[in-house]
Amino acid sequence: MKSRLITEYELIPEKVAVSETLYHTANGYIGVRGCFEEGVPSGVKSIRGTYINAFYDTEKLHYEERYTGFPDYSQCMLKVVDAQSIKLFIDDEEFSMFEGELVSYKRILDAENGMVERVVQWKSPAGKEIELTVKRMVSFSQKEAFLTSYHVKCLNFKGLLKIVSSITSQVSNMSAEHDPRLGTSGGNRLLVKKISQSGNISSLECQTRNSGLTSICSMSNKLDTASESIVTDTDNSISETFELHVEAGSSVTLEKFVTYTDSVRYEDPFKDNISINQSIQSAGFKKMVALQKQYLDEFWNHSDITIKGNDDIQNGIRYNMYQLLQSASNDMYSNIAAKGLSGEGYEGHYFWDTETYIYPFFLFTNPDLARNLLMFRYNTLNGARRRAREMAHPKGALFPWRTINGDECSAYFPSGTAQYHINTDVAHAVTQYWQVTNDHEFMADYGAEMLFEAARVMYDIGLYRRDGKFVINEVTGPDEYTACVNNNYYTNLSTKHLFEHCGNVLKLLKDLYPKALKKLAAKIDLDDDEVPGFQKAASAMYLPFDEELQVHPQDDAFLDRKVWDIANTPKDKFPLLLHYHPLHIYRHQVCKQPDTVLAHFLFENNTPLDIVQNDYYYYEKITTHDSSLSTCIFSIMASRIGDEKRAYNYFTQTARLDLDNIQGNTDHGIHTAAMGGMWMAVVFGFAGMRIVNGELTFRPNIPSEWKQIDFNITFRRRQLRISASKTAITVKLLKGEAINVFVDGDMIELQPEEVTA
């Protein structure tokens, strides 16, 4: 595997903020944007930031007209103490990438060793030359650790070298009043409670203004050359300064060890922080790098996708998978934010993105981590129950549309709370986990409770109309350019599947876990006739269909709206949400992203393929793809209907969405859901993988531009290797017991180490 996924050779001031996103380092717990240690001049746009997953502040929401059920508080993932800063002085000249002469420059994202490396040869305005090599990483083996190796080689310089390493709480979240994809909760929200010095470890203890959460950041520095240091502090920062006289040709290396802890996860965050800092100091930078590579070797062994045919696309695929790993929480306190831990877009909130777009990647490559992601939803189930009561539902749970701590914080209900499909999305992830892992105990202990509670709310918002059909009114589907409608096709179809799965789970509990069923029934007061009632509603579910056009309307009134003239809409008016009032958009047939088309992907049923094809081409004409969640689904479903050209064209827009800044807002953070969608487009799209009636199936449709794709998946405690070309597919059982799979409808019996075409 080529470890150097991306390399930057040129400093372009206008692209600094985008590069800070692309070169960020994270591990699911902490994320550090790829900022220059020394900083940038005031005229250069830079979004400097470090984040802890699920570390947030709240702020009272203000409404001119407030109604029952509106959330009381917003939530915002906060910037925490900035520990990136290392300043370098050569005599009286301060190193800056933007002054003097950059003789050479490169920055590398190394996904095999898990670090970002910057190499600079620099000539100062006075002609003094140095070579600077900076390596930095956030550790996967010790999630609290952020480490930097700062190596200075003096090329023609003899004199005084000064290095200043700092941590500071002078950080402020960004805000944008006119872009709902950002937040309005800007400013500095950290209060310094304590500054400490313990041996060679300096620390800042900070508390949020409103949520009362505490975070600790500690720093220790180790110079490989004998030198005295001076530690100084102010009200909000600590610095350690090293000064030494150097000769031309000499080198010096500073290793900086930083640890973060918080009150969300640790009973004594200060004590734990100091202990961890001492531990990583003792290990040293080289040892931590070795552990990093060991972790990543295992990750790539289970997750890598190789293609033969296009190096740029190959690079994009691996970059996206690596970023998914960097974004994924592996504890029960947090989930995956819309921008991972790379930036502040969407204020660090968790959406349906995780379950629908990101979750499948981990489910088929790291099922234990996938289980943890579901446990976050289970651990916040009481908050979902409270939300259901706020929304007048006497039973059940309503998962929040956007959240950090499990409480709803979406202030605009038409594209927030009205998206009741969040319940079916979480439920779909639960049933997927069950199908892929056969983890019956998880379903008995946790999954059934989530399904039944989610189903209760979906049943409560529905009703039987006069013709006996079960209908669901006043909801918003995945397409946020159409809001508060009756019988959104996606919502109705996904609810039908939820109701049916509740019946399957009830049977599992009755047959294998009667004690667990009795306990659950008592806990949530489950009536004997509730689940049969769900199944009856599933059989009667109304799914809109227009006989004349032979398409599924997105909702009851969708086809009666005026079609938006996308072709003649000026390019500078996209995305529409930033330039038109929502009501104007809602009155038109126009889609931000797939809705009905997404339903056909997630809930394959007995819909004839020609109808799926009709829906695809109908909605393609009226979809703007203003959402980064869009093109991956259109790629997958183009593969499904056999439109190879569209499948590949949409895929190329997804594979390098951030690397090429296609959406124009990568500076605010990566698009994690699109990255998950990219993986799905390869595996579910081109390889045609599905689970049908509990069986693993493949319908490959490999692009003509590629010679072959190879990837691994984990399915029911077995590891499989799939290799597919335009004319053939082979499936190899690498680990586990014998299993049957289906390729183009034909059953294949796989034995260990047996390759079958």
Residue 347 CB coordination number (10 Å): 25
Residue 669 has pLDDT above 90, yes or no: yes
Domain of residue 133: give its range.
4-302
Under 8 Å between Cβ of 138 and 27:
yes
Task: Check whether the bond before 125 is cis (ω within 30° of 0).
Answer: no
Is position 716 within any domain? no
Would you say residue 193 lies in a domain?
yes
14 is catalytic: no
What's the pLDDT band for 746 if we cut at 50, 70, 90? very high
pLDDT tier, 5 (very low <50, low <70, confident <90, very high otherwise): confident
User: Which pLDDT score, from 0 to 100, does residue 752 have?
Assistant: 83
The owner of tokens 């531990």 is 279
Q: Work out the percent of the chain whose per-residue pLDDT is above 70.
A: 97
Query: Which among 240, 355, 480, 530 is annotated as catalytic?
Result: 480
The model's pTM: 0.96
Residue 637 CA to residue 41 CA, distance in Å, equals 47
280 lies in a domain? Answer: yes
Q: What is the mean pLDDT of the chain?
A: 95
Please indicate, yes or no, if residue 242 is contained in any of the structural domains: yes
Q: What is the pLDDT of residue 174?
A: 77
From the number of C-beta atoms within 10 Å of its C-beta (0-12, 13-18, 19+), residue 511 rates as: exposed
In eight-state DSSP terms, residue 682 is: I
Residue 663 lies in a domain: no
Instruction: Answer yes or no: is 482 within a domain.
Output: no
Residue 685 inside a domain? The answer is: no
Q: How many domains does the chain have?
A: 1
What is d(CA 479, CA 591) in angstroms, rounded to the nearest whole number? 6
Model pLDDT, residue 187: 64
Query: What are the DSSP calls for 64-87, one per residue?
Result: SS--TT--SEEEEEEE--B---EE
Q: How many helices (H) and strands (E) in the chain? A: 19, 31
The reply to whether 61 falls in a domain is yes
What digits encode the pLDDT tens for the residues 262-286? 999 999 999 999 999 999 999 999 9
CATH code of residue 169: 2.70.98.40
Instruction: Categorize the per-residue pLDDT at 4 as very low, low, confident or very high, splitting at 50, 70 and 90.
Output: low
